[in-house]
Structure formats: structure tokens, C-alpha cells
Structure 1
Amino acid sequence: NIFYTGATTNQQIVPALDFLKEKGITSLYLVGSDYVFPQTANRIIKAYAAANGIEIKGEDYTPLGSTDFSTIVNKVRASNAGAVFNTLNGDSNVAFFKEYTNAGLTPQKMPVVSVSIAEEEVQGIGAQNIAGQLTAWNYYQTLDNPVNKAFVKAFKDKYGQNRVTSDPMEAAYVSVYLWKNTVEKGKSFDVKAIQDNCGGVTFDAPEGLVTIDGGNHHITKTARIGEIHPDGLIYTIWESPGPITPDPYLKSYPWAKGLSA
């Protein structure tokens, strides 16, 4: 009964790791909030790292809402890791990046890749504290295509020119139209009719063409690595060659065998 329009692991975390590997990163430090998503994400990251010759220099978790990062940042700095993979959520990111900057750590010295920081969060953290750092998503406000330009204009016209769009926001928007297109395909609002007709339904979304996988109810998505700029927006610096087929349990990745057990 559930359809997912956010990224699966192989559409966000795995591409981010592929990007870091391509850039010659050979060691990582893992920092996350202490709940199920970061813990699970880091299990996946550690399995990928083991199979790809990447050393995990450290792994730290902090309670949701935590604002004291002095000890963790000191450990990160002392580790001399090639990069930090960040799965912190909420206000903790504000404190973490302020401490990171105060400690003299820069994107050039030790880049941070985040999977929970979008344009809204950049505003909260302050662009001056996070400019140059990296994010892994499927959508950014700055995507240069006609559909996205119309989407951003309509959003700003309604909610204010100072407002920003973001990946989670766009995914919610996409879900409504995929539901609409599935209802129209099945000629019914009935749940079973939607389930039976969802496979192959597409939508020309702001992020690009997306397609529902009828087997797992996820959608195809293009992976994008973005760099945060001083203007508070995120600009694509790498993207997958095309939409990635969703593989929520990483069944097509030999190194992930056993993670779902």
C-alpha cells in the first residue's frame, strides 16, 4: 500500500560512495545521529568500504538534537580521514558545521558529504559555515531544465521569492502526480487498481523523468552530487548517466550480501 518517491540507498548513498572513490578518497569518518537511518546507512557504507579498499577511520553517533560536537570534531580532525560521511539530522547539523569550521576544517582539507542537508537546511546552518561542502540527492533547485524552472517559479510566486525548493519537497510533489497518472491509467481510484496499474507509470518531474517500479513501488531517480555555494544554493557537480533503477535491498550488489538478514 506504500509508494516511495524518495531515494533508495542505491540512488543516493552508493552513488555518493562511488563519487568519493572516483575522486581518490581512501578513508572515511562516519558521523551520524543515533537512530535507525544513520545506523543502517553506516552498515551499508562499511560493507561498501570493505569491498572497495576504503578505510573507516572512525564512527560516532550523537543523540538527536545534540549540539556539543567539540569531542567528535577533534576526533575527526585527528583521524586525518579523506572525507566525512554525514548522516546527522536536524539542528545537530548547525552545531556540527559551526564546530567543524571553528576547528579549521575546510572542504579542501576534509570534505563532508551529507545526505540530509538540502537548501532549507543550508539556510538554517548558514551558508558561511558550509559553503564548499557536498551533498548527495536527486534534485536541486538549480537544475537547469524547463520543467524545474517552471516548478521553482510557481513555488516562489506562491510562497515567496526568498523561499527555496528542495529534494524532499520535490519528491512529495512528484508523488501526487504519479498517483494522478496511475489513477488515469487504471481509470479508477481503487487501491487495487492503482497497485495493478502502477508499473511503468512515468512523470516528467523537475528532477527529470521518473518511472514507478511495479515490483517494489519505488521509482527510478538520477543521482546527483551537489556543492553548496555561498549563495545558499546547491549546484550539481556530478550526476549518474541516467535514472537508476531502485534496488532498496541492494540485491544487485555482491558486497551487500547479508546486510538484509
Structure 2
Amino acid sequence: ILEGLDWAAREKGAKKFYLLGSDYIWPRTSNKIARKHIENVLGSKVVGEEYYPLGHTQFNSVINKIKLKKPDVVFISVVGGSNVAFYKQLKAAGIDMGKEKPLFLTISVTEDEILGIGGENIEGIYASMKYFQSLPNENNQAFVKAFKERWGDDIVIGDVTQAAYLGPWLWKAAVEKAGSFDIDKVREASPGIELTTAPEGYVRVHENHHLWSKTRIGLAEPDGQYKVVYESDELIEPDPFPEGYQ
């Protein structure tokens, strides 16, 4: 969230943000953090904040509000099937997502969602995540090759899929470090665990049991993949709810 917003402000000169999410705790908490960062750190402005029920499919009203408010960035945490309707309706409303005002920045549309949306309907948006299938490193190239050999050439791999793949390997490393399957011992052994074979490249377990990872910004292309246009120089320290953002 924070690295993505910083990138939009630094690289795209964004000053006005519109926050849009599905109506449950993750988008609301994400946008609470985003609003604090936009207003208190970036010194910028939130010009709108909207939430819609899970499964919602009628976005014409908020699309009209976005046109009226003219934000520099629409920061999106809409999830699930609602994404299909939202992006198709954006395109039907004549909004060119290839133009960068407003810039559409999502934290919730992986390659898996694009399969349902259609690459032609989402071309030009940006996503802030830690993993994209298109990452060129050797770990990922081998992972994608093996994944497609097992599940078929039409399969795509997104940020959530890669995270699920990492889980058992991190648990295995913690079990070996602890020398035990005991849950408390495994938990205590987890901080500091490193995985150099991760498809994203390298991860390390923080004391809070989240992962140090790099943040990447991807640009959606017509083929349903993301082109990586930014990668943080260093690993980002994981902090699910930073101090001062409550």
C-alpha cells in the first residue's frame, strides 16, 4: 500500500486520490492506512472514498463520480467477481485506462482475475504487489515452467498463488530449524527463516511472522500479463498496521 502510493506520488506526480473498495475489513483497513499516508505523509488529498458489497456489479454511479472528481489516482481494493463488472464498465464508459489521468492502481487484481476480466478490458491499469508471473529471474522462470507442465499452458500464476506455494516451504524450513513439529517450537523458530528459491526471488520471515519482500508495480497488458515497471531497491519491512495509521 505505502510503496505503491509513494510510487504514484513520486513517479506520476499524483496529488488527488479516490479510494474504492469492496465492503469488508481488508479494503476498509487498507484504505484507512492509505488515507493516513496520503494526507499526513504525502500531503495530498483524498477526493472520494466508496465501498460496495461483495458481488456488486453496478459501478456506473461511482464511475460518474470519478469523472466528476477528476482524481489523479483511483486506488482500488475491489475483489472477486465485482472486478469483472467494474473494469468492463469503465471501458464501456469511455475511460481510457492507458491514459494516466486518472491512473488506476489496484492491490487486488492478479493475473487470475484478469482471466475473467479479459486483458483487453484492463489494459493500462497498474498493480502494486510483490509477485507477477512475468518476473524474469531464474527461480520464477523454472517455477512457471513446472507449474504449466503440471496444470496446463492456459494456467496463470498470480501473487496469491505464489504466496500459497511459499507457505509449505517456509513451514518446512521452520520445522527443520526447530527440530520438531511442535507448533509453539515451529512458531518460535520462524523469524529469520530465509527462502532463496522463492519465485519472487528472496524472502525472509520477520519477527511478526510476515515476510520481508520487494514491492513491484506492474502495468497490465492486453495478453493478461503485467509488465514490471518498478521494483523497490530493498526488501520492504512488513508491517500490517503501522504505528500512527490506526
Establish whether TM, by shorter chain, passes 0.5: yes
Q: Is residue 128 of structure 2 the alignment partner of residue 106 of structure 1?
A: no
CA displacement 1:226-247 (0-9 Å, x = unmatched): 0010111012110110211212
Q: What residue in structure 2 maps to residue 97 of structure 1?
A: 87
TM-score, normalising length: structure 1? 0.90
Q: What residue in structure 1 maps to residue 194 of structure 2?
A: 202
Q: Contact 2:125–2:220 (CA<8 Å) still a contact in 1?
A: yes
Structure 1 position 196, deviation (Å) = 2.2
Q: Contact 2:18–2:49 (CA<8 Å) still a contact in 1?
A: yes
Q: Is residue 171 of structure 2 the alignment partner of residue 179 of structure 1?
A: yes
Fraction of identical pairs, as percent: 39
Unmatched 5+ residue regions in structure 1? 1-12, 252-256
4+ aligned runs moved over 6 Å, structure 1: none
Range with bigger deviation, 223-232 or 97-106: 97-106
Residue type of the alignment partner of 2:105:
V
Q: 1:85 aligns with which of 67, 75, 85?
A: 75
Compared CA separation, residues 31 and 249, structure 1 to 2 (3 A)? closer
Q: Contact 2:191–2:208 (CA<8 Å) still a contact in 1?
A: no
Residue type of the alignment partner of 1:27:
K
What RMSD, in angstroms, separates the aligned Cα atoms of the two structures? 1.1
Structure 1 position 45, deviation (Å) = 1.2
Equivalent residue of 2:241, what SS?
coil
Structure 1 position 184, deviation (Å) = 1.1
TM-score, normalising length: structure 2? 0.95
Q: What residue in structure 2 maps to residue 4 of structure 1?
A: none
- Aligned residue pair count: 241
Residue type of the alignment partner of 1:14:
L
Q: 1:140 aligns with which of 126, 132, 135?
A: 132
Q: What residue in structure 1 maps to residue 225 of structure 2?
A: 233
Q: Contact 2:22–2:51 (CA<8 Å) still a contact in 1?
A: yes
Unmatched 5+ residue regions in structure 2? none
Equivalent residue of 1:37, what SS?
helix
Q: Contact 2:33–2:241 (CA<8 Å) still a contact in 1?
A: no
Q: Distance in 1 between matches of 2:123 and 2:65?
A: 22
Equivalent residue of 1:188, what SS?
coil
Equivalent runs, 1:111-130 vs 2, <5 Å:
111-130=103-122
Q: 1:49 aligns with which of 15, 21, 38?
A: 38
Q: Distance in 2 between matches of 1:86 and 1:169?
A: 20
Q: What residue in structure 2 maps to residue 20 of structure 1?
A: 8
Q: What residue in structure 2 maps to residue 32 of structure 1?
A: 21
Q: Distance in 1 between matches of 2:200 and 2:126?
A: 18
Q: Distance in 2 between matches of 1:178 and 1:76?
A: 42
Q: Contact 2:115–2:224 (CA<8 Å) still a contact in 1?
A: yes
Q: What residue in structure 2 maps to residue 5 of structure 1?
A: none
Equivalent residue of 1:153, what SS?
helix
Q: What residue in structure 1 maps to residue 208 of structure 2?
A: 216
Residue type of the alignment partner of 2:4:
A
Equivalent residue of 1:208, what SS?
coil
CA displacement 1:60-98 (0-9 Å, x = unmatched): 111110111111100111111111001111111111111
Residue type of the alignment partner of 1:202:
E
Structure 1 position 171, deviation (Å) = 0.5
Residue type of the alignment partner of 2:68:
A
Structure 1 position 32, deviation (Å) = 0.9
Structure 1 position 16, deviation (Å) = 0.6
Q: What residue in structure 2 maps to residue 149 of structure 1?
A: 141
Residue type of the alignment partner of 2:27:
P
Structure 1 position 250, deviation (Å) = 1.2
